[in-house]
């Protein structure tokens, strides 16, 4: 791993340990539950939009797992 890559992962790890990060993850997790509701989905376009939202939310939340490696 290069020094630049190591700094990236160290910075990411530092960020994910903050209270602000924990609050963001809690908010995104709560939002994901609402977004994942089939009941509120209007049509196929809305379904695809919701899938995209969930993909982004999961990518952000999973940064924590990647930072711990």
Query: Do the domain assignments include residue 47?
Result: yes
Judge whether 12 lies within some domain. Answer: yes
What range does the domain containing 15 cover?
6-35+42-68
Question: Dihedral sign, CA of 33, 65, 12, 3?
Answer: negative
Q: Residue 61: inside a domain, yes or no?
A: yes
The string of pLDDT tens digits covering residues 10-19 is 999 999 999 9
Mean pLDDT over the full length of the chain = 91
What is the DSSP secondary-structure string of the chain? --HHHHHHHHHHHHHHTSHHHHHHHHHHHHHHHHHT-STT--SHHHHHHHHHHHHHHHHHHHHHHHHH-
The answer to whether the predicted template modeling score (pTM) of the entire model surpasses 0.75 is yes
Question: Number of structural domains, the chain?
Answer: 1
Q: What is the pLDDT of residues 36-50, one digit of tens each?
A: 988 889 999 999 999
- pLDDT score recorded for residue 65: 73
Give which of 63, 17, 23 is closest to 31, Cα–Cα: 23
pLDDT attached to residue 66: 58
Residue 1 included in any domain: no
């Amino acid at each position: 791993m290069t020094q630049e890559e190591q700094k990236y992962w160290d910075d990411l790890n530092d960020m994910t340990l903050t209270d602000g990060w924990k609050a963001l993850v809690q908010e995104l997790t709560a939002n994901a539950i609402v977004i994942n509701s089939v009941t509120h989905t209007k049509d196929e376009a809305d379904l695809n939009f919701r899938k995209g939202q969930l993909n982004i939310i999961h990518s952000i939340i999973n940064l924590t797992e990647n930072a711990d490696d």
